[in-house]
Structure 1
Amino acid sequence: MLLVKLDEPSARGRYIIQHMLEGIGGIPVRFAEGEEFRSSNGPKLVYGALPEAGAYHIPASEGWAHTPLRAPIIDLQNGRPNMFPSDHGADPFAVAFYVLSLADEMQCADRDAHGRVPANSLYVVRNGLSDRPYVDEWALRMAQELEAQWPGLIEVRRQYTHTVTVDMDNILRYAGRPFVRALGASAKDLLRGAFGEVAERWSVRSGARLDPYLAVRNVLREQRQAVDRMVVFFLVHGGEKYDHAASLDHPDAIATIQGATLFAEVGIHPSYRSSDEAGLLRQETERLRSVVGSVALSRQHFLRWRLPDTMHQAMENGIAEEHSLGFSDRLGFRASTCTPFRWFDVERDQATGPLLVPFAAMDSALIDHERCMPRDVVERMSAMGELVRQVNGNFVSVWHDRSLSGHREFASWPAVFKEVVQRVRS
């Protein structure tokens, strides 16, 4: 047990120290002050301006524990951010709290065409903190320093894990759409000369052949034993510009969702408009619950989320885990961590809401935005997994039904998925 004294006691300080030292570092902590702290001869840490005899000291920045958050100054050493305690007073807790509270997400006014904060506008990207899970590295380094001074202090040593998550944006490729919509899609295909797709669409709709996206479940089942956790997020709203899900009135759609519960956890993929219109999340979540029962996980479609509204809506609708924390256009660590954490609401000054589960790699970021070839995707995703393995963290990869289907232009991607899973397995 590590006694911790805060010169400036606050909910923010207790939150970040407990998360980094206990949640990541595996060191149980208890906060103390006054005579109890001074008289203790056991392991202890003081977070404040001045060191104290017999205690591990971390210099504290001024003001961040109570005042509106300002972006901390990053200390660069050899071109890399280094916030570990040093003679010049770098403060890893202040920086870690700033990135984990997602204060920059809330304060940034920049938005892209979909209403999202652009990656290049974020503090973590501008300061090179998204390249690695720095919060985890700092926490583990502190834990190692503390255990060197007090052997046996670390009680829990975490293990590396890989979580595969899949966004089912369509569920089915052709089936489960209204007749009029199928006609419109066929007309567009004819205009661009995609005669094969027209024939395939009507062959599926007539029942002469299986929908090609039904292959996804087999790909996932085959690799289930090679991953530590698998979560499948279903979009259940369709018929709009950015929402293309098959109707849940179609038996194959129902069978796909119910079948997923046999090898994975099932979550909701809230529709494009749900982040703008109150009540849609509840409707969609209840629709999915009518098929599978309990639904407590979510990831926003298009990663359209805004703080604090998305967190508050998630709480109101029984969501225990939110999986939207990541980049849509690149690989990286949006909160500089690979460890799930409870979001700290700076407006309410308390840890609240669902558990935030950050992801580090998304297939479409490499396929659609960076135009990577299959071999490059394998190498780059595997490299991200290795960064997480170095800190014994939770590597979360994101895939989509269209790529895992192996249909047409995605013919090579199921093999890519399988190779990545095997290379980054725990």
Structure 2
Amino acid sequence: MLFYVDEISVRLIYTLDFVFNEHGLAYQLTNDKPIFESFEGTKISYSDFEFGNTPCLNPASLLFEETFRESIVVEKGSWHGVDCLKFDSVSDPLSSIFYVLTRYEEYHVKFPDEHGRFTSKESIQSKLGWLHIQIVEHWIEAFFRIHSPKYLKQLELGRSVQIIPSFDIDNTFAFKWKEGWRSWLSNGKDLVKNNQERLKIRKLVQKGELEDPFDAFELIRSIYKNYPETRVFWHLGNYAKYDTNIAWNDQRHQQLILEMSSIGYLGLHPSYSSNYSDEKLNQEVVRIKTITSKPIGESRQHFLKLNLPKTYRRMMDQGFEKDFTMGYADDYGFRAGTAHEHAFFDLLTNEAFPHYRIVPFAYMDGTLLEYKKLSIEKSLAVIDQLVAEVKRYGGVFCFIWHNETIAEAGKWKGWKKVFDHTLEQLK
């Protein structure tokens, strides 16, 4: 497909690269009117200039701007009967794709939560009822349906689903290997609360007479074996209020990490504290590379603390190439409007980074139980809807669990059913 535009911009190239190249299709751009007029294939004018019988899509100005606008007016619009976004009174599906995919609204967070995060309820997709669908993919399909059914057929034939179970290791064990002051402190808390069950379990685990309730690593190994794209992200930060894993320099801990990294993909789970310290982030990068003796190119932020564009800039500076943080803690769905992997675009520098990839996730275990307060049965229904959406429009079905949740520790008893159901529905 050939596009005519008044000017060729980096934002337009980024958007069309996603719409076409990332979906196995091809396009060309020109701002030369004679070349466009003489072209005999499928073509469209993305301009206010009309070429006789050639299809024309009147653009908003968003894809031709070079700076970030805090005061941009975004409303619900309609284009050929399709709901999309309207920018300064112009309904434009291509600008809608760019706006949602780049997370434009997250560059100026007005109401962060207690952890400084942009929340789902503040997103335009949530406000318009689009968060639980791949709204970007809906717009792409509508674009081809209206302007080129031939491309729509190619788009549909090329769709596939990539399955990525993933685990964040925030607390490797509940009791095992936690010694000294940490063991005394936890023991004291349980004594104060008169939690006899935890006191008993801790004693049996530390004596080696009972498996630690968070020990799901044999299970994760089997998942690695059956789903080779499985990811594990390990927390290696220093102990702090929100960073409570076992000491990174415990030789037994290091050996476990090394064993897991030899099986499949293992990435860094940067600590909560590292969000405020380049020195701490660098320490954790050095630690995981030292333990595994190999380069680590993938990460997911602890607490899903994503600050745009700062987080991605910092990870790129550390040599990372792929991030798995794109999703919400407080709701399930499609934060970037798609389940498809895509390149990072920095709105402050107006620059695309095709070699730094963003992999969205569809849901997190804690979102279902802790944030949404869903039952197991209602969670299964949510999974069905999310899986159906990804099967319909293709993409990556990445989902987050933790070793303690897959092990069904404490309140997670019975929840492995939800994990298993996810994989069953994806088969």
Same fold by TM-score, threshold 0.5 exceeded?
yes
Give the aligned partner of residue 330 of structure 1.
331
Residues 149 and 325 of structure 1: is their aligned pair in 2 closer, same or farther, counting only changes over 3 Å? closer
The Cα shift of 1:321 comes to 0.8
The Cα shift of 1:238 comes to 4.4
Match of 1:32 among 16, 30, 33: 30
Structure 1 distance, partners of 2:415, 2:374, is: 12
Structure 2 distance, partners of 1:251, 1:379, is: 43
Does the residue aligned with 1:68 lie in a helix, a strand or coil?
Answer: coil
Give the aligned partner of residue 375 of structure 2.
373
The Cα shift of 1:63 comes to 4.9
1:259-305 superposed Cα distances (whole Å, 9 cap, x missing partner):
32344311111111111112211111111111222211111111112
Q: Note if 1:137 corresponds to 2:135.
A: no
Structure 1 distance, partners of 2:375, 2:425, is: 18
Give the aligned partner of residue 61 of structure 1.
60
Give 1:48's aligned amino acid.
S
The Cα shift of 1:154 comes to 5.6
Alignment TM-score, normalising by the size of structure 2: 0.90
Q: Which has the higher mean CA deviation after the structures are superposed, 254-263 or 337-346?
A: 254-263
Residues 264 and 418 of structure 1: is their aligned pair in 2 closer, same or farther, counting only changes over 3 Å? farther
Does the residue aligned with 2:149 lie in a helix, a strand or coil?
Answer: helix
8 Å contact kept, 1:8–1:48: no
The Cα shift of 1:53 comes to 4.4
The Cα shift of 1:111 comes to 1.5
8 Å contact kept, 1:84–1:138: no
Unaligned runs of 5+ in 1: none
Structure 2 distance, partners of 1:202, 1:155, is: 57
Give the aligned partner of residue 401 of structure 1.
403
Structure 2 distance, partners of 1:82, 1:259, is: 49
Q: Which has the higher mean CA deviation after the structures are superposed, 378-387 or 65-74?
A: 65-74
8 Å contact kept, 2:78–2:85: no
Does the residue aligned with 1:389 lie in a helix, a strand or coil?
Answer: helix
The Cα shift of 1:9 comes to 2.1
Give the aligned partner of residue 411 of structure 1.
413
8 Å contact kept, 1:171–1:256: no
Does the residue aligned with 1:174 lie in a helix, a strand or coil?
Answer: coil
The Cα shift of 1:36 comes to 2.3
8 Å contact kept, 2:223–2:230: no
Residues 192 and 407 of structure 1: is their aligned pair in 2 closer, same or farther, counting only changes over 3 Å? same
Residues 197 and 153 of structure 1: is their aligned pair in 2 closer, same or farther, counting only changes over 3 Å? closer
Unaligned runs of 5+ in 2: none
Does the residue aligned with 2:167 lie in a helix, a strand or coil?
Answer: strand
Does the residue aligned with 1:233 lie in a helix, a strand or coil?
Answer: strand
1:143-292 to structure 2, matched below 5 A, reads: 143-148=144-149, 157-214=158-215, 216-224=216-224, 227=227, 229-292=229-292
The Cα shift of 1:12 comes to 0.6
Give 1:31's aligned amino acid.
L
**What is the aligned length?**
419
1:175-196 superposed Cα distances (whole Å, 9 cap, x missing partner):
2334111111011111222122
Give the aligned partner of residue 43 of structure 1.
42
Give the aligned partner of residue 111 of structure 1.
112
8 Å contact kept, 2:364–2:399: yes
Structure 2 distance, partners of 1:226, 1:126, is: 38
Give the aligned partner of residue 424 of structure 1.
426
Structure 2 distance, partners of 1:318, 1:219, is: 31
Give the aligned partner of residue 6 of structure 1.
5
Give 1:229's aligned amino acid.
E
Residues 195 and 224 of structure 1: is their aligned pair in 2 closer, same or farther, counting only changes over 3 Å? same
The percent identity for this pair of structures is: 22
Residues 177 and 238 of structure 1: is their aligned pair in 2 closer, same or farther, counting only changes over 3 Å? farther
Structure 1 distance, partners of 2:152, 2:236, is: 52
Residues 38 and 286 of structure 1: is their aligned pair in 2 closer, same or farther, counting only changes over 3 Å? same
CA RMSD of aligned residues (A): 2.7
Does the residue aligned with 1:372 lie in a helix, a strand or coil?
Answer: coil
Residues 106 and 84 of structure 1: is their aligned pair in 2 closer, same or farther, counting only changes over 3 Å? closer
Does the residue aligned with 1:257 lie in a helix, a strand or coil?
Answer: helix
Structure 1 distance, partners of 2:145, 2:223, is: 35
8 Å contact kept, 2:339–2:394: no
Structure 2 distance, partners of 1:114, 1:63, is: 31
Give the aligned partner of residue 125 of structure 1.
126
The Cα shift of 1:393 comes to 1.7
8 Å contact kept, 1:268–1:285: yes
The Cα shift of 1:76 comes to 5.7
Structure 1 distance, partners of 2:227, 2:281, is: 29
The Cα shift of 1:407 comes to 2.3
8 Å contact kept, 2:340–2:394: no
The Cα shift of 1:156 comes to 7.3
Give the aligned partner of residue 391 of structure 1.
393
Give the aligned partner of residue 366 of structure 2.
364
Alignment TM-score, normalising by the size of structure 1: 0.90
The Cα shift of 1:326 comes to 0.7
Give the aligned partner of residue 15 of structure 1.
14
8 Å contact kept, 1:167–1:400: yes
Structure 1 distance, partners of 2:68, 2:152, is: 38
1:46-100 superposed Cα distances (whole Å, 9 cap, x missing partner):
21113324644322113552153424322269xx971399xx9631111111112
